Structure 1
Amino acid sequence: MKKKQLQVVVTGGPGGGKTTALDLFRRELGHKIAVVPEAATVLFSGGITRSEDEQVLKLVQKTIFQLQKNVEEIHKAQFPDRLLVCDRGSLDGLAYWPGSESEFFSEVNSTFEDEIARYDAVIFFESAGASGHDISSNNPVRNESSQQAAQLDKKLQKVWSRHPHFYFVGSSESFIRKIMFGIMTIENVINQYQRG
């Protein structure tokens, strides 16, 4: 019987340090992991512009949802012997969805249970905005204010904390300490699943 490929989500509000941690982690363990890029960044950097129109928001979130899952499947097929570490996951769209949770799942033709089961663990990087810090980023498609980042962080935390293997990396005065703690958390999760 083939061993199940492990899949971990690294998520959290904007300006949490996820992408920085993943870049460093890829350099350390590039041969053991495959980092799945954030679907929203792929979409927005490809020419789709942000909109406040509810119909457009819903279409964008449905597209991100499907793109996220498809990109994960591509990485599974390309790197069958590596742990998949996803920069965000399919449930992130719930925090951005302008309607109800039940409407979201109806529109994407899935369930919360099916989506949460896709991932073996969730590592949540709290946004610096949650503690009133600057969320400046080198990601050109990120445009949230610190206040918006804090609100999204709360919504995302509410969604992902329902996962049975939820790990929290809190905001810190020292970004470097936070990133180091986050990387250690990712490493511990990987080691735990490799032993199991």
Structure 2
Amino acid sequence: MQVVVTGGPGGGKTTALDLFRRELVHKIAVVPEAATLLFSGGITRSDNDQTLRMIQKTIFQLQKNLEEIHKRQFPDRLLVCDRGSLDGLAYWPGTESDFFKDVNSTFDYEIARYDAVIFFESAAATGHDISSNNPVRNESSEQAVQLDKKLQKIWSRHPHFYFVGTSESFVRKIMFGIMTIENVINRYHRS
């Protein structure tokens, strides 16, 4: 089983996953975010469309390969992915059909790879601070809102889409997110 935890920048998903990883260390395997691995490895962001396409194609393949590695290393655990293969579509400088042509896949194939999607809304969507301890995250609040909307439009097409909205209290939001992740995991561990 494979679950995606995604959302706009500054949504709290990484914080929730870090806490959850500690609680269910032997039940789940957390697949790291491919973009963070790539950008922390020396690749720099670009506004050039050709370079951006190449970066997103690389992230797409890296994400899928990381998921496959974790499936093989932890065959008895539920995979919880820090973002999924469709996240790149929100960053793509062209059309959806161009994206799927360039990555040699389809929307239906990619969305079917995941059993559920848990979406953490960006705090920027309600005007809250999105400061992060992730050094490769550099989006402004405005960019975070736009990415959040794009990502929500993409992932909400999944039949098992769970939404974790912003809250006045970050702690309450994270707790709600963790309960949502736990409910989804319990549902699939019983299946």
Normalising by structure 2, we get a TM-score of 0.99
Match of 1:153 among 141, 148, 169: 148
% identical equivalent positions: 85
Match of 1:12 among 7, 24, 29: 7
1: CA distance, partners of 2:65 / 2:145:
29
Match of 2:139 among 117, 125, 144: 144
Q: How does 1:65-80 map to 2 (within 5 A)?
A: 65-80=60-75
Gaps of 5+ in 1: 1-5
2: CA distance, partners of 1:148 / 1:129:
9
Deviation by residue 1:130-174 (Cα, 9 ceiling, x = unmatched): 111110000000000111101000000000000000000001110
Q: How does 1:109-148 map to 2 (within 5 A)?
A: 109-148=104-143
How far apart are residue 192 of structure 1 and its match? Answer: 1.0
2: CA distance, partners of 1:72 / 1:7:
9
How far apart are residue 24 of structure 1 and its match? Answer: 0.0
For residue 55 of structure 2, what is the aligned residue in structure 1? 60
2: CA distance, partners of 1:98 / 1:132:
26
Is 1:81 the counterpart of 2:76 in the alignment? yes
Provide the secondary structure at the position in 1 that maps to 2:113: coil
How far apart are residue 194 of structure 1 and its match? Answer: 1.8
What letter is aligned with 1:48? I
For residue 23 of structure 1, what is the aligned residue in structure 2? 18
Is 1:92 the counterpart of 2:87 in the alignment? yes
1: CA distance, partners of 2:72 / 2:186:
22
Is 1:35 the counterpart of 2:30 in the alignment? yes
For residue 183 of structure 1, what is the aligned residue in structure 2? 178
2: CA distance, partners of 1:106 / 1:167:
28
Is 1:106 the counterpart of 2:115 in the alignment? no
For residue 43 of structure 2, what is the aligned residue in structure 1? 48
Deviant stretches of 4+, over 2 Å: none
How far apart are residue 63 of structure 1 and its match? Answer: 0.2
How much is the aligned-residue C-alpha RMSD, in angstroms? Answer: 0.4
For residue 3 of structure 1, what is the aligned residue in structure 2? none
